[in-house]
Amino acid sequence: MPRLVKCGLIQTSMACASSEPLAVIREANVAKTVGFVEQAAAAGVQILCMQEIFTGPYFCAEQNPRWFDAVERIPDGPTTQLMQELARRHRMVIVVPLYEEDTTGVYYNTAAVIDADGRYLGKYRKNHIPHCAPGFWEKFYFRPGNLGYPVFDTAYSRIGVYICYDRHFPEGARALGLAGAEIVFNPSATVAGLSEYLWKLEQPAHAVANAYFVGAINRVGTEAPWNIGEFYGQSYFCDPRGQFLAVGSRDRSELVTAELDLERIREVRNVWAFYRDRRPDSYGALIAP
């Protein structure tokens, strides 16, 4: 029998100029996203995820201590608490990507996971931190994650989170599959250019190799004053065969939805027995420094 779960992804452009006070930036972007949360609720979405650090611009395009004040606590910060209220009201699981303050001066690129009854289930901290041109200076802002690759038992599915640059590393994607993830969400901020062709290649490959669903989210538009490139949207869901179920536009703020049949995971794993045929005893070189 089908096990159907309706899922949603929110991709947006910036709601205001990055020169505005940080409190104004957060308020404007959260308000814009909440509008799509309400749209998702009306559409019957059960699991929802928004883009990487959705409360502001992709400020990693510069190295400026100003943005250290954009952090907030998880789960005690205002955005997580607001999303807990929305999750409870709409019986919706919500994945909330934020710039997290652990202690003063120790900050992470993080996603909080909230269950459909509003309970905070835990968080994933981005493990792989880039520092490269044309403007991905993330090591200035984020410490590498230290929570491993958790999988969260939600009301509707077992879900994992991988954040943006993580997607270039198959090891964590495998760890999520081995831990029982049925859906992996990858909130991102990626621009047109060198790696755009990988956007629809790598993550469907993870879905196939691990026989789970993937929801990939990218923001849209260009962000001044940095203008490092076009955030090209095209958020999507793909299934355990790597087939696209829904793809967003390149340039519009919108909600992307798809109905996922989780029974497909069993079907695919019974055909392609990748987990049965793994040879972890032969993979020692993978963890060599």
Active site residues per annotation: 52, 126, 164
Is the CA virtual torsion 194, 200, 203, 205 positive or negative? negative
Say how far apart CA 115 and CA 153 lie, in whole Å. Answer: 9
Give the strand pairing for 158-161 and 213-218: unpaired
Radius of gyration of the chain (CA): 18
Distances (CA, A) of 7 to 141, 161, 210, 223, 237: 31, 14, 19, 28, 9
Q: Which two tokens stand for residue 116?
A: 């459909």
Count of CB atoms within 10 A of residue 128's CB? 18
